[in-house]
Structure 1
Amino acid sequence: MNDDVRNIVLGVIAAGLSGSLGWLTRTYFWRRRLRRVQGFFGLPADSECVLVVNREFGGDGVHRNDVFALLELSALIKDCGAHAQIVTHDAARQGFGERTEFCLGGPMSNRRTAAHLRSLLPGVTVNLDAERGPDFASFVIGGENYRLEKGESEYVLLARVVMDEHSRPVFLFCGQRAITNQAASRYLARHHRKLARAYGRNSFCLLLKVVHSQAYGPDVVELVADVTDAAGRSAPAPAQN
């Protein structure tokens, strides 16, 4: 074997080793990122989760924006290699913690959301007694009132709640309108890695504002505040005269 052939053979071997090393490195980091995502969502490969879907407020069907939200969440679940069961809010008869749960819609259209707010986020009050007045569907959190201004300024809670380190999380998308539920699911899809770095596997509750949905749809979303502490505390009882 002359020097030229030897150099060619050594070059081929070096290229093969470099390519294999690069592939192994990329695979290692891809798997590590996947495990982080799976841990954040509580969705190891081949695990089961449940999507609790609401009903359109005042109707019997599912609002089209909520269908789009389900599609956003289904893509996340598929990326984790998990499987989802879809149940309606009035057919969900189980506790929480055994399977990851994605619960979609506010308490006016999803009774399971109403139960989660009472038991998991007692510091959140949704005003449903204003008879369609200016405060109808407003959020009261930590003494602050967040009023719905349809098409202009609309709010949604995006929460991840876990009871202990062995429990699977509940993800709550509690919006004032269906389009805000979609906005929150899209926000989670876009920012889940950032949220995982910030909160790890702990609980959080974020208040988001959807801006000018009549022009921008669910795409323009602002983070108003991290209301985890306020949402987790029971609201003070009204003063007695």
Structure 2
Amino acid sequence: MTDDVRNIVLGVIAAGISASLGWLTRSHLWRRRLRRKQAFLGLPGNSECLLVVNRDPGTDGAVHRNDVFALLELSALVKDCSAHAQIVSHDGARQGFGERTEFCVGGPGSNRRMAAHLQSLLPGVKINVDPEPGPDRSAFQVGSERYRLEAGSAEYVLLARLTGGQDARPVFLFCGQRAITNQAASRYLARHHERLMRKYRNSSFVLLLKVVNSQAYGPDVVELVGDVTRTAQAPLPTPVPTSHRAAG
């Protein structure tokens, strides 16, 4: 074997070894990233989760199209984790909290399961579900702050990851003032889950998001108003009674 042939053979072998090492490294990093994603979402391989959906109160039991889009966003996350999803109606979910990972979509006015989660897990959140028109219709109260709905202009949604213990599976809440805000929150989770995972790891969090000008931009323009975890998990402040002195 001449020196030229030997150099060519050695070069091919070195290139093959480098390619194999690169593939192994990428595979290792991909598997590690997948395990972290599965842990954050509570979706180990071949596990099952619930997608709890509300019903559009303005229709005969149908699911709003934006909530369908939200379910599609979440289904993609579930599939990426090699897990399986079961879609159930809000009045058909009968399991306890933490048995399986749960993604709950819709406000308390159209989702009984969401209303139960808010009452049990987020006592510092109050949502006006009065169907009568008025400035406070669908308004959020988080602690002492109030966030009113401005349809198509400024709309709010809570995105929460809540756990009941170290070994309990999380429940994710997508609780918006309108269906399009539910879709915006699910898309926010899909796009930013790695950043949220790095910041919160497996801890609970409650984020208040603002959907800006949805009539023009749909669910795509979302601002983070703030992390309201502590406020949402603490009881609402007790209003101080006002005393009125009789005129004399």
Aligning the two structures, in what range does the TM-score lie when normalised by the shorter sequence? over 0.9
Distance 1:108 1:130, change over 3 A: closer
Percent identity over paired residues: 72
**1:187 corresponds to:** 188
Cα deviations by residue, 1:71-103 (Å, 9 ceiling, x for unpaired)? 000000000000000000011111111110000
Q: Map of 1:32-51 to 2, 5 A cutoff?
A: 32-51=32-51
How far does residue 131 in structure 1 lie from its aligned partner after superposition? 2.2
Larger radius of gyration: 2
| Structure 2 counterpart SS, 1:140 | strand
Q: Map of 1:171-186 to 2, 5 A cutoff?
A: 171-186=172-187
**1:28 corresponds to:** 28
Aligned length: 241
How far does residue 197 in structure 1 lie from its aligned partner after superposition? 0.4
**Structure 1 counterpart of 2:49, one-letter code:** C
**Structure 1 counterpart of 2:84, one-letter code:** H
**2:5 corresponds to:** 5
Q: Map of 1:106-145 to 2, 5 A cutoff?
A: 106-129=107-130, 131-145=132-146
Aligned-partner Cα distance in 1 for 2:113–2:149:
22
**2:200 corresponds to:** 199
Cα deviations by residue, 1:148-207 (Å, 9 ceiling, x for unpaired)? 000000000000000111010000000000000000000000000000001000000000
| Structure 2 counterpart SS, 1:229 | helix
Aligned-partner Cα distance in 2 for 1:153–1:57:
22
TM-score, structure 2 normalization: 0.95
**1:211 corresponds to:** 212
**Structure 1 counterpart of 2:140, one-letter code:** F
**Could you say what the CA RMSD is over the residues aligned between the two structures, in angstroms?**
1.0
How far does residue 8 in structure 1 lie from its aligned partner after superposition? 1.2
Unaligned runs of 5+ in 2: 243-248
**Structure 2 counterpart of 1:119, one-letter code:** S
| Structure 2 counterpart SS, 1:97 | coil
Distance 1:134 1:160, change over 3 A: same
**Structure 2 counterpart of 1:180, one-letter code:** T
| Structure 1 counterpart SS, 2:17 | helix
**1:56 corresponds to:** 56
| Structure 2 counterpart SS, 1:234 | coil
Unaligned runs of 5+ in 1: none
How far does residue 2 in structure 1 lie from its aligned partner after superposition? 1.6
How far does residue 132 in structure 1 lie from its aligned partner after superposition? 2.0
| Structure 2 counterpart SS, 1:103 | strand
| Structure 1 counterpart SS, 2:114 | helix
Quick check: 2:70–2:187 contact (8 Å CA) kept in 1? yes
How far does residue 65 in structure 1 lie from its aligned partner after superposition? 0.2
Quick check: 2:139–2:148 contact (8 Å CA) kept in 1? yes
**2:245 corresponds to:** none
Aligned-partner Cα distance in 2 for 1:51–1:130:
26
**Structure 2 counterpart of 1:40, one-letter code:** F
| Structure 2 counterpart SS, 1:136 | coil
Aligned-partner Cα distance in 2 for 1:56–1:222:
25
